[in-house]
Amino acid sequence: MVVEDEGVVALQIKEALEGLGYEVPVVALTGEEALGKLMETEPDLVLMDIQLKGAVNGIEAAKRIRHRMDVPVVYLTAFSDTETLEQAQLTEPFGYVLKPFEERGLHAIIQMSLSKHRRTRGARESGWWMSAVAASMREAVLICDPKGYVKFVNPAAEALIGRAQADILEKRIGDVIALVDGETRAPLLFPVSEPLLEGKSTLRGNCRLVTGPGKEVPVEFSASPLRSPEGTLFGILYVFRETTERERVQTLVLRELETLAKAQKKALPRQDAALPGLRVQWLFRPTAYGGGDSLGFCMLEGTRAAFYSVEVIGQGILSTLFSLLLHTFLSCDADGGGILVEKRCEEPRRRALAPAEVAAELNRRFFLLEDANPCFTLVYGVVDTESGATRLVRAGHPHPILQKADGTVRAVKPEGYAIGLFPRAEAMTEELVLERGDRLFLFTDGLVECVSPKGERFSSARLVELISSQRQSGLPEAVEAIGAEIDRWRGSDAFDDDLSLLALEKE
């Protein structure tokens, strides 16, 4: 759009522009006419004479145009006095063309103005989008320049910090926000250098935002470098997330897990518990997050005794609760929910279920109907404490290890799927005889899959080697040695999964 109040000059400009390849659909002779036709034509650029006749001069017309539409304005003027240029500069023009003009100079100014406008509009729109998104975020957002001065703050940050935007902008972020480590209470410096030098985001949790004397808010925050398409660093984005509710839930969950861990430990056999004719020893290492391991043994009827090792797949409260429920089922107290002994009307009044029957009954009760229950692995056996005759089933559990009195070792390999996977799965039964001095070891995946600090698994082979090396030791000493070695292997008392081992030896 050309806005020029001298008709002859306006036509000359129009012809010159069309000769350069531009379209000039509108030539306005007054500021009022230009404003009237602005929305109709939506020009890409306006050539505006500063000195226009009428109530609206060129400077005022440019101001109104920029208010209505994001379009670059280039002034045409025969005046170059300081006062006029200062007034024109307030409207943020994209350039000036002095009359009389040359076509080459006019063409260069137009091209530069269009290019500059495209760049500034893109940056401005990106800034608008970023500001709109940041303002709508629930997280607190601050943007600083490379020197650490705050250039943007959203409403959530104002609320979190407890200070108004005017009291935050243009201040160094370290003077606006004070952070301390949630555990050590050491003051935290804002990681300006890391995002600056390494060009990557950083994330820090378990912090406390100090908002006043005795006032703290649990937070986590991230710091990310902001770079232009050319790679120039122009700012750092800080995002703060309040973690008060999360920490409250975590504290509650950890308290519940501690309670369940105590119940799980209480459900384990006493270390001095025994079976007639058998030595029994066990070890148990729980995970801090709650696991699903359970083990136990009891007398059934006559000289027969039951023993088992269970692992519920998964971790957490549900797995721990489920393992406690299974401990109740795997007992001979029928009145208390145990399924190992069946109460009968006819003689004999009690009948101990065979291992395969126990596996089938558990599978019937806990089949994974629409993911309603966790699945679990199991080794369950029945041993005659006098003769040593033993029958056992394995349902997805690691293979038990049989160590003969002469030191030879083999895996006991009855096959069977984990309980809860298939509605009519059958567990195969293996029969063996525990002779004097023979040992049988039942264990869960957590033991052989325990990972060292170097990332190496403990493995079944290492467990067999360890069992073999302890053949001359008593059963309590042998199990204690296994526990000590697994602790040494792990390198800490924090385990990723429950691990347990149950060992029996024929006297």
Instruction: For the chain, give every domain's residue range.
Output: 2-127, 137-242, 259-506
Place of tokens 């009291």: 167
Phi, psi of 90 (to 5 degrees): -65, -20
pLDDT for res 465:
96
pLDDT for res 460:
94
Could you say which architecture CATH assigns to the domain 2-127? 3-Layer(aba) Sandwich (3.40)
**Using an 8 Å Cβ cutoff, are 340 and 357 in contact?**
no
How far is the CA of 162 from the CAs of 91, 140, 141, 157, 168, in angstroms? 37, 11, 14, 8, 10
pLDDT for res 136:
62
Question: Tens-digit pLDDT profile for the chain (507 aa)?
Answer: 898 888 888 888 888 888 888 888 888 888 888 888 888 888 888 888 887 777 788 788 888 888 777 788 888 777 655 666 666 666 667 777 777 777 777 788 888 888 887 777 766 655 555 555 555 667 888 888 888 888 888 888 888 888 898 888 999 888 888 888 888 888 887 655 555 555 666 777 888 888 778 788 888 888 888 877 777 778 888 888 888 777 777 777 777 777 877 888 888 888 788 899 999 999 999 887 778 899 999 999 889 999 999 999 887 778 888 888 899 999 988 888 899 998 877 777 788 999 999 999 998 888 766 556 678 999 999 999 999 999 999 999 999 999 999 999 999 988 889 998 887 888 899 999 999 999 999 999 999 999 999 999 999 999 999 999 999 999 999 999 999 999 999 998 889 899 999 999 999
Helices 355-366 and 317-329 meet at what angle, rounded to 10? 140
pTM: 0.57
Rounded CA-CA distance 318/374 in Å is 8
pLDDT for res 203:
76
Nearest alpha carbon to residue 293 among 505, 504, 502: 502
Which CATH number is correct for 259-506, 3.60.40.10, 3.30.1490.20, 2.60.40.10, 3.40.80.10? 3.60.40.10
pLDDT for res 255:
79
Pairing assessment for the beta strands 140-144 and 95-98 based on DSSP bridges: unpaired
Q: Which H/E stretch holds residue 174?
A: helix 173-176
pLDDT for res 430:
95
Residue 507's CB: how many other CB atoms inside 10 A?
Answer: 14
| Amino acid letter, residue 92 | E
pLDDT for res 233:
79
Helices 82-89 and 58-68 meet at what angle, rounded to 10? 10
pLDDT for res 132:
58
pLDDT for res 472:
95
Domain topology for 137-242 = Beta-Lactamase (3.30.450)
